[in-house]
Amino acid sequence: MKKKIVAGNWKMNLSLLEALALVSEINFMVNDEVMHDVTVIIAPPFPYLQSIRQLTKDNPRIHTAAQNCYSETKGAFTGEVSAEMLKSLGTEYVIIGHSERRNYFKEDNHLLAKKVKIVLNVELIPIYCCGETLQERNANKHFEIIKIQLEEGLFYLSEKEFSNIVIAYEPVWAIGTGVTASPQQAQEMHQYIRSLIKGKYGNEIADNLSILYGGSCNSKNAKELFDNPDVDGGLIGGASLKSRDFTDIIKAI
């Protein structure tokens, strides 16, 4: 069965003290207020991963994710962080291919394919992001772009490997802009993504895959997005930095 997931991507925000305060509030609220079965993931900056894992490890609903990792296993790569290191901290998920990584750090599908493999090799779960720019959507190329991002980034995986990934559809024009994809636009693209996966890996794997929506998702619009049959949760940026907003989004699932 596909998991319902709400993941908070904190990006490069918060001091350590602010991060600890926020996660303590979320930890408390997720215990007390969220009655249904949802997987909550928190993706803080690297330096906070261990403390956040420590604070939440007794809460079975909360898991941690890294926002990135390097594409090699180890060695002389000053400043980089390996998947194995993340695993040793108790991290369970790694966001791969966020549009900010694709855009500012020029990460292309081929590099991301390597990262996905590295993450799977140490038995962590990649959350693979895909999404088109506004220019691409206006040129009616959005389906084509997503197809290429999936084919080049993921379609070399075996069936077994593919059963252990999560996909996030994040239209670049909606990220951090306050403009959200309409529920129809989100459903249309999620359904398309699932149909591509069906074609490549079959019905069972496609039906069990969680596909998250990301891009200005907040406590007001989450419900109508999550109500779509192919939207299995959200990857939340700005609204994950406030405990009340974030837990309201979790409750909307």
At how many degrees (to 10) do helices 183-201 and 142-154 cross? 40
Beta carbon of residue 86, minimum distance to ligand PGA (angstroms, whole number): 18
86 part of the interface to ligand PGA, by CB under 6 A? no
Residue type, 251: K
Among 215, 219, 225, 231, binds ligand PGA (CB under 6 A): 215
97 part of the interface to ligand PGA, by CB under 6 A? no
Residues taking part in catalysis: 98, 170
Best CA proximity match to 132, nearest among 71, 184, 183, 193:
193
In eight-state DSSP terms, residue 210 is -
Question: Among all residues, whose Cβ is closest to ligand PGA?
Answer: 237
Residue partners of 82: CB distance under 8 A and separation at least 6: 69, 70, 72, 73, 74, 118
Neighbours of 147 (CB within 10 A): 15
Residue 72 or 224: which CB sits closer to ligand PGA?
A: 224
Residue 201 or 248: which CB sits closer to ligand PGA?
A: 248
Among 176, 204, 220, 227, binds ligand PGA (CB under 6 A): 176
Stretch that binds ligand PGA, among 22-30, 61-69, 153-161, 212-220 (CB under 6 A): 212-220
220 part of the interface to ligand PGA, by CB under 6 A? no
Best CA proximity match to 189, nearest among 205, 210, 208, 211:
211
Among 194, 237, 247, 251, binds ligand PGA (CB under 6 A): 237
At how many degrees (to 10) do helices 109-121 and 142-154 cross? 40
Beta carbon of residue 238, minimum distance to ligand PGA (angstroms, whole number): 4
9 part of the interface to ligand PGA, by CB under 6 A? yes
- The residues in 113-172 that bind ligand PGA, with binding defined as CB under 6 A, are 170
238 part of the interface to ligand PGA, by CB under 6 A? yes
Q: Which residues of the chain form contacts with ligand PGA (CB under 6 A)?
A: 9, 170, 175-176, 214-217, 235-239
